[in-house]
């Protein structure tokens, strides 16, 4: 099963976000209230190490397991797409207290109500692709 490694990486991801309480609704609320450094520390330190890592990958100092250079496809440019889309996402992130990763981790913790949030997420993605031709990007 060639995908087993991704299953294992996912398990690691689920444990990390659980143990760091990133999946807690309260931690997200606290972040948006600027009442704790915790979430800023998590994201900030991830990005700080990530900048170095991506630099090493792009310089070719680290290669993939097949010895290939990694190519990171850049995100699409566009103010409306990123700012309006990002703002809509942020509204949901604060209300659900969960972004897409934590939704699935909470499912594994047996939180029944998160099923409705995930169904909402699927409907939201469906809705976006139904109306995207009418939206500014």
In this structure, how many other beta carbons lie within 10 angstroms of the beta carbon of residue 56?
13
Site for another protein contains 60 (CB under 8 A): no
Min CB(109)–another protein separation in Å: 4
Question: By CB under 8 A, what part of segment 69-128 binds another protein?
Answer: 70, 72-79, 81-101, 103-114, 116-128
Task: Give the separation between CA 63 and CA 65, rounded to whole angstroms.
Answer: 7
Min CB(13)–another protein separation in Å: 5
Question: By CB under 8 A, what part of segment 35-54 binds another protein?
Answer: 35-51, 53-54
Min CB(1)–another protein separation in Å: 9
Min CB(130)–another protein separation in Å: 5
Site for another protein contains 9 (CB under 8 A): yes
Site for another protein contains 129 (CB under 8 A): yes
DSSP, residue by residue, 69-98: PP--PPPPP-HHHHHHHHHHHHHHHHHHS-
Q: How many residues bind another protein (CB under 8 A)?
A: 115
Q: Are 21 and 42 in contact (CB under 8 A)?
A: no
In this structure, how many other beta carbons lie within 10 angstroms of the beta carbon of residue 23?
24
Q: Which of 136, 104, 113, 133 is nearest to 18 (CA)?
A: 104
């Amino acid at each position: 099963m060639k995908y087993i490694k991704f299953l294992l990486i996912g398990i690691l991801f689920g444990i990390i976000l659980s143990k760091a309480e990133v999946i807690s609704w309260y931690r997200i609320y606290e972040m948006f209230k600027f009442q704790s450094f915790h979430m800023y520390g998590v994201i900030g330190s991830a990005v700080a190490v990530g900048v170095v890592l991506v630099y090493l990958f792009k310089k070719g100092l680290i290669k993939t397991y097949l010895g290939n250079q990694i190519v990171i496809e850049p995100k699409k440019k566009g103010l409306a797409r990123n700012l309006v889309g990002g703002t809509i996402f942020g509204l949901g992130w604060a209300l659900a207290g969960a972004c897409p990763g934590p939704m699935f981790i909470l499912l594994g913790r047996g939180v029944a109500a998160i099923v409705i949030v995930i169904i909402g997420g699927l409907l939201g993605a469906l809705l976006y692709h139904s109306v995207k031709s009418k939206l500014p990007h």
